[in-house]
Chains A and B, each alone.
Chain A
């Protein structure tokens, strides 16, 4: 079954992973800017990273017929440094016109500090100034509920924001309802141990329905599965769900969300004569 992976940090993955994703039906990935596993030394490191997201990764993905899109930001794990945040915010607008940049993300919170929240609001302002879609990271583990609540309350109170243009990602059982209730999209990231696996993601879809819910691998430099979505598809079938419902979650829903950006589109495979 064809699918889109809405959250894949392909800079951390090998070309073999692109191949595995293509072989299992992946037609597009979107890659939010994220933490490298260590704090970057300065704004120049972000420029180098952003250049890779808009130049090298789309070319690498195209070799396997996968469309590559990206989101720009300084991630919340590095937002404690307000001066660095301001310097990175200054360079982001020059990337927003690039053809594969869909919006601002993955912004959000990590440990839910005052500076993280200030940086989150700075990025929301930037997105509003440039009419961008927003992709939001919610915190991990014991910080998930409080961070999601602060994020959702902040966004819901902002009259400039259209909730259907915002994806709030890494939702779990105790946060998905508050995300959906305010009209935002909810992302379920199929990640070993620390987030939700296919079985619990399916529980959430059975309970809340498939509207405004997407799944993604969130594959990165940690232990993660670039083919998590086909594993989800397999488990959905094992649980007795029809392909029409599965296709809605892994293909139609992400297209509905991303098509709000005029830059989003999928390759016309019927017309293609060559890739890359």
Chain B
């Protein structure tokens, strides 16, 4: 399917003027979360599958490529379409665990 031809009505300058502050704080929240993990009482989740996915996602943000949000979504996704033999748990956890 061809992408829709319509671009955003806003210019880059208009985007920055209107939306910089709310995204600035999101970056700070993420930085603070990572610092908080470093200060945790016990460093017992360094290799947690969710944090591994988060680190991969952060690398995508700065690699200079496009379609960042789709690639980040796929970083968090299970790509195996084979149905599970039975229900293992009721809810998803936000990131794919290859060692589930």
Q: Which residues of A contact B (CB under 8 A)?
A: 77, 80, 110-117, 139-146, 149-150, 172-174, 177, 180-181, 200, 203, 206-209, 238-241
Are A112 and B84 in contact (CB-based, < 8 A)?
yes
From B28-36, B40-48, B54-62, B86-94, the one touching the partner chain is B86-94
B94 proximity list for chain A (CB < 8 A)? 141-142
If A141-B94, A142-B92 touch, whether A240 touches B87 (CB-CB below 8 Å) is no
B78 within 8 A of A: yes
List 6 tightest A-B contacts by C-beta distance, closest first: A240-B9, A209-B4, A141-B92, A174-B73, A145-B77, A140-B92
Is the CB–CB distance between A111 and B92 below 8 Å?
yes
State the main secondary structure of chain A at its contact with B: helix
Contacts of A207 in B (CB 8 A): 3-4
Q: Is B1 an interface residue (CB 8 A)?
A: yes
Q: Is the CB of A145 within 8 A of B74?
A: yes
Interface centre among A111, A206, A207 (most CB of B within 10 A): A111
Chain B 59-91 per-residue mask, 1 if CB under 8 angstroms from chain A, else 0: 000000000011001101111110111111111
Besides A114-B83, A140-B91, 10 more A-B contacts (Cβ < 8 Å) are A110-B90, A116-B83, A141-B93, A150-B81, A150-B83, A173-B73, A206-B6, A206-B8, A207-B4, A241-B9
